[in-house]
Amino acid sequence: MTTQARRYVQPLAALALLLAAACPPATAVPQPGPLTRIGSAPLNGVQGRLDHMAVDLASRKLFVAALENHSVEVIDLAKRRRVHRLTGINEPQGLLFLPNQNRLLICSRGDGTCRTFDTRTWA
């Protein structure tokens, strides 16, 4: 090792020890347990594949795309029941809920459209 290299090693080693002492030790992050079923919500009249979902955490509503039923089912998670159905949507695929605007965006595979609904009025 050259004299010039030795001049940098000692200060770098001291800096590394100082940083190590200043950083708190890593703690283990608790791992979540397996998913467990806590309930269900009947969807009478819905046939075919349930595909994409979105959730409104504030109102505790789950939006479920029923692809072959051409509808989006709105489930009240607290009451565990369907509270609304959006129909006439040709193979709904992508759902996105925008909480700051109370808007649900629904993309349709069947006709390539993207519709927007106000989740307060369903208009």
Q: Is 40 a member of any domain? A: no
CATH value at residue 75 = 2.40.10
pLDDT at 107: 95
Q: Is 13 a member of any domain? A: no
Residue type, 102: N
Is residue 43 over pLDDT 70? yes
Average pLDDT over residues 16-32: 68
pLDDT at 106: 96
Q: Is 66 a member of any domain? A: yes
- The Cα 114–Cα 50 span in angstroms is 18
Q: Is 102 a member of any domain? A: yes
* Domain assignment of residue 58, given as a range: 50-118
Q: Is 54 a member of any domain? A: yes
Average pLDDT, the chain: 85
- The Cα 50–Cα 66 span in angstroms is 5
- pTM higher than 0.95 for the full model? no
pLDDT at 86: 96
Report residue 24's pLDDT band, with 50, 70 and 90 as the boundaries. Answer: low
Report residue 4's pLDDT band, with 50, 70 and 90 as the boundaries. Answer: low
- The Cα 31–Cα 6 span in angstroms is 45
User: What are the tens digits of pLDDT across the range 61-90?
Assistant: 999 999 999 999 999 999 999 999 999 999
Decide: residue 66, CB within 10 A, 0-12 exposed, 13-18 middle, 19+ buried: buried
Q: How many domains does the chain have?
A: 1
Q: Is 70 a member of any domain? A: yes
Report residue 7's pLDDT band, with 50, 70 and 90 as the boundaries. Answer: low
Q: Is 35 a member of any domain? A: no
Q: Is 37 a member of any domain? A: no
